[in-house]
Amino acid sequence: MARSKYVPLRRTDRNLIGGTVARLRQQQALTQQDLAGRAAVVGWVISRDAVKRIESGEREVTDIDIKFLAQALRVPPAVLLEKLEEQPKLAGLRPSGGKTPKPAAPIKAPSRRSGGGMGL
């Protein structure tokens, strides 16, 4: 039997603002390196590769990242968050077929037995 080669999947669903960042950057005629440079000016050291990964959705973005991206793009942070309601739902949030999953069984706490344990 021939073994298949492992090919890692690239996840592109790690943020919802990457497309907006790319659009705003392109509207301002900035390269990804230019945006990384502007970010450094406002106090956020980020590489061109990290900007690329944000724009493609491969990198997660925190609230602090949004603040610095907005400053670097010279827009209010709310602009980066606009139109999120219009974006498609992320895959995996609801099981296929629209069925509601059954709740997990409650976890039982271990019973405490007198005299057991550490010999105290």
pTM for this predicted structure: 0.65
**Of residues 85 and 91, more confidently modeled:** 85
pLDDT at 111: 61
92: CB partners within 8 A, 6+ apart? none
For 25-62, what is each residue's pLDDT tens digit? 999 999 999 999 999 999 999 999 999 999 999 999 99
Closest CA to 22 of 10, 37, 11, 35: 35
81: CB partners within 8 A, 6+ apart? 17, 66
Cα–Cα distance, 110 to 105 (Å, whole number)? 15
The whole-chain average pLDDT of the chain stands at 81
Amino acid at 63: D
For 68-81, what is each residue's pLDDT tens digit? 999 999 999 999 99
Domain assignments of the chain as residue spans, ordered by start: 32-86
Q: Where are the beta strands (DSSP E) in 1-120?
A: none
**Res. 118: pLDDT tops 80:** no
R_g of the chain, CA atoms, integer Å: 23
